[in-house]
Structure 1
Amino acid sequence: MKLLLPITRPLGRALVPIRLALRAIRRNAMRATLTVLGILIGVAAVVIVTSLGAGARDAVSRQLDTLGSNLIFLFPRSTSASGARSRTVTGRLTEEDARAIVRESTSVARVSPTIATRVQVFNGDSSYSTQVMGVTSEWFAVHRWTFAAGAMWSDGDALLKAKVCILGQTVKTRLFGSQDPVGQVIRIGNYPYRITGVLDGKGDLFGGDQDDIVVTPLGGVRSRFARMAPGTVHSMTLTATSAETTDRAVEQITSVLRQRHRLHEGAEPDFEMHTQKEIQEVQQTIFTVLTVLLVAAAAISLLVGGIGIMNIMLVSVTERTREIGIRMAIGAREGDILLQFLVEAVVLSFLGGVAGAAVGAVCVAGIGHALGWSMSVSGVSLAISLIVSAVIGIAFGFFPARRAAKLDPIDALRHE
């Protein structure tokens, strides 16, 4: 037992400031509650914002993954042609371009030329305006579409521009409700089309419904609805062989198309490309900037809370001047008084941090449930929030604590 005394005595002395701080907080519970409110709001805001940013990034990443993987989007573009008269030339993409890209580009796995137009579709008395997409069989693999019912049309149907189609989930629900539409006939514009299948649902992407489509062979859409020149298409979607070869695939596609479109060196290309990786990087940049701005706004609440703690501690020093004088008279040193009030400020700030983290975690769970996102509070964000709250207590509590420690004992004892 005697061996333990040298250990327990320093430990007991170390706990004295904490006991005094908790006793002072209990004496003024209402004031302490109002003091920590600013810290609580600031920490809760930081936890919510960081979790919301992470949840939004994950949600967007999952949405982009529904498009496919390693995608490259190719579109025609208008260019200015020089000559006797300057004029604008609109680029053209063709099915032969697609075949040449696959043939000559080692880093391109698949190419899906597409024609898209908006058409009214009918089933009996029900009608609906939707996007009709003319595609090749590669489109389903490129965009990773699977079938909820039925199957894709045959190669013969595509070659003969047969009037066959596949419905997205939204169109299927609008025209048939819960009925099975496979094998039935609908009217697209003025033409009867037989339904061969129904696609699985993918949901929304950037506010657009991916399931609001009717898919049919490319040639039929071009001749019946789009009225385009033979072989031309609106756009192409390509897949690189891997994420690492995407940049090389872009270079190869550019080389093939410049050669096929007879563009001399230095001429402005009549096509443009965007990659899935570029879209993801833009999204990440946007979310990072927004998160930083929102965290900065939340930091203002922490700053206000810190100022509140400093003001309350200054009031507390004034109210307890006589108590400080008595402690100094019975042997308390300047460092003891400094530590007492500094610990009190840190305890107040830390309590606000703990309460803010708890409130933030509850809010994150509620927001995640409401939005249908997979959101959680990371241990890193919680640790940072608690550390920041403790640092604020030290930073804003030091001035009042130093002021208390510098009081003259005799003047303090005379204070009424």
Structure 2
Amino acid sequence: MIFFQSIRMALLSIIGNKIRSFLTMLGIIIGVSSVILIVSLGLSFNNQVTDQFGDLGTDLLSVNIFGYGAVTSMTPEEVNDLGHIPGVGGVSPTITGSVTAKNRNRNTDTNVEGVLPAYEYVKDFHVQRGRFLLNIDNQYRQKVALIGSETATKLFGMQDPVGRDIRLNGDTFTIVGLLKAKGDSLMGSNDNKILIPLATAERFLQTKGIQSFEVKARNPQNIPAIKEQLQQVLTAKIGDPSGFDIFDAQAMIQSAEKTTALLSASLAGIAGISLIVGGIGIMNIMIVSVNERTREIGIRKAIGAKKGNILLQFMIESIFLSTLGGSFGIGTGLGLVWIAGHFTPFQIQYAWSMVAISFAFSFIIGVLFGIIPANKAARLRPIHALRTD
């Protein structure tokens, strides 16, 4: 009965001073909402980066050769020999260039890649219609091509491009397959491209030698060992480690996750300071409340209220102020996250664990910062309290 009476008196005190109570809770509201917003956006950004790098393949190593001295490239045979490294599932050399593709009165600028049949497995590119490139296409330098879905739409609209001819920088190529849509990645659009046989690309693009290729591991766990082997082989071939670069999506994901987690934690810590400031505000206003209600406390003690009753009343009032502020802060934070999801390109991820932590933290703040004022009220001597005007 005494407990519920204390709750009633605490609520009456808060409602009786609406503006002061709101301003007291404002620090908690800002702190909680800021923490939820920052952590949710950090989590969303981390997931976005992970997905983007994941699209490149966590079981892939991308090698780019810049050259050192006279050695600026490798032959297709030398690249294919890297497939004998333990743990390697496939190797795909690539020659890349830009062309103007034309179909009658339609034309578009796009990328053309000279590849081998292994490209289908290594890069996980498959056709939705037609066929993929064959070894015989490369052997006889056939002028055949695979076309990306975006490029196909630009050149053929809704028509089926398989079996049709296109002109690439004036040369005629026959389309033998339409690639499945892959969407965008950090490297740009995966659908705005044309694939042709590697040997054909060497002559067509007037490029000799391979300067970029991908290595696919049978298991992502083999990536570190394969990367070390590649570095040894390429250093021996090119002569200097600065002459090539090995891009490891798996390592980039781990690095991005650590960076994002550190940044989010730092920003959340800064935002969390406002929770402490809010707690100090609650303690300050509770001390003011005790001073204002000194005579009331004296009367209650004079008619039989115990020290614990007074302590409980002011502790409940402090906890109510803090948890109400935390609740409003949670609602505000989730609202801001929802708004951010409509005005940013991120796939928003709500930090529900942080919601629970924020509410618990606001409760703890109410307890910790309410102890001093509540104890001050409970220790007032009735005779001194009743003398106060």
- Following TM superposition, by how much is the alpha carbon of 1:255 offset from its aligned partner in structure 2, in angstroms? 3.8
Whether contact under 8 Å (2:184, 2:190) holds in the other structure is yes
- Following TM superposition, by how much is the alpha carbon of 1:15 offset from its aligned partner in structure 2, in angstroms? 4.1
1:332 matched to 2:316? no
Name the SS for the 1:238 alignment partner.
Answer: strand
1:150 matched to 2:130? yes
Whether contact under 8 Å (2:307, 2:379) holds in the other structure is yes
1:43 matched to 2:32? yes
> Unaligned regions of 5+ residues in structure 1, if any?
1-11, 80-87
Alignment-derived partner of residue 237 in structure 1: 214
Quick one: structure 1 residues 412 and 234, their matched pair in 2 at CA, closer, same or farther if it must change by over 3 Å?
same
Amino acid at match of 1:96: E
1:63 to 47, 52, 68: 52
**Counterpart-to-counterpart distance in 1, 2:295 and 2:193:** 80
1:309 matched to 2:282? yes
Name the SS for the 1:93 alignment partner.
Answer: coil
Q: 1:355-408 CA deviation, whole Å, 9 max, x = no partner?
A: 222333344445446657654535422221111111222233333333433444
Write out aligned runs for 1:174-213 (5 A). 174-206=154-186, 208-213=188-193
Name the SS for the 1:161 alignment partner.
Answer: coil
- Following TM superposition, by how much is the alpha carbon of 1:170 offset from its aligned partner in structure 2, in angstroms? 2.4
**Counterpart-to-counterpart distance in 2, 1:33 and 1:280:** 43
Whether contact under 8 Å (1:345, 1:393) holds in the other structure is yes
Q: 1:115-142 CA deviation, whole Å, 9 max, x = no partner?
A: 1122222223333222211111111211
1:342 matched to 2:322? no
Name the SS for the 1:145 alignment partner.
Answer: coil
Write out aligned runs for 1:331-370 (5 A). 331-368=304-341
Name the stretch that deviates more: 290-299 or 342-351: 290-299
- Following TM superposition, by how much is the alpha carbon of 1:273 offset from its aligned partner in structure 2, in angstroms? 1.7
Q: 1:293-340 CA deviation, whole Å, 9 max, x = no partner?
A: 331232133234323323332332232222122222233344443332
Name the SS for the 1:50 alignment partner.
Answer: helix
Amino acid at match of 2:39: T
1:323 matched to 2:296? yes
Quick one: structure 1 residues 176 and 367, their matched pair in 2 at CA, closer, same or farther if it must change by over 3 Å?
farther
Whether contact under 8 Å (1:111, 1:236) holds in the other structure is yes
Name the stretch that deviates more: 346-355 or 151-160: 151-160
Whether contact under 8 Å (1:72, 1:237) holds in the other structure is yes
Name the stretch that deviates more: 375-384 or 281-290: 375-384
Amino acid at match of 1:42: G
Question: Superposition RMSD on alpha carbons, in Å?
Answer: 2.6
- Following TM superposition, by how much is the alpha carbon of 1:113 offset from its aligned partner in structure 2, in angstroms? 0.6
Name the stretch that deviates more: 328-337 or 338-347: 328-337
Whether contact under 8 Å (1:66, 1:143) holds in the other structure is no
Alignment-derived partner of residue 106 in structure 1: 86
**Counterpart-to-counterpart distance in 2, 1:309 and 1:290:** 29
1:28 matched to 2:17? yes
> Unaligned regions of 5+ residues in structure 2, if any?
none
Alignment-derived partner of residue 85 in structure 1: none
Quick one: structure 1 residues 301 and 197, their matched pair in 2 at CA, closer, same or farther if it must change by over 3 Å?
farther
1:134 matched to 2:114? yes
1:96 matched to 2:77? yes
Amino acid at match of 2:20: R
1:170 to 150, 157, 172: 150
Whether contact under 8 Å (1:92, 1:270) holds in the other structure is no
Whether contact under 8 Å (1:69, 1:239) holds in the other structure is no
- Following TM superposition, by how much is the alpha carbon of 1:29 offset from its aligned partner in structure 2, in angstroms? 3.2
Q: 1:128-166 CA deviation, whole Å, 9 max, x = no partner?
A: 222211111111211212323332133222222222222
Alignment-derived partner of residue 274 in structure 1: 247
Quick one: structure 1 residues 186 and 299, their matched pair in 2 at CA, closer, same or farther if it must change by over 3 Å?
same
Write out aligned runs for 1:70-85 (5 A). 70-79=59-68
**Counterpart-to-counterpart distance in 1, 2:283 and 2:188:** 51
1:381 to 345, 350, 354: 354
Whether contact under 8 Å (2:60, 2:217) holds in the other structure is yes
**Counterpart-to-counterpart distance in 1, 2:296 and 2:377:** 11
**Counterpart-to-counterpart distance in 1, 2:190 and 2:270:** 36
Whether contact under 8 Å (1:119, 1:188) holds in the other structure is yes
- Following TM superposition, by how much is the alpha carbon of 1:96 offset from its aligned partner in structure 2, in angstroms? 1.8
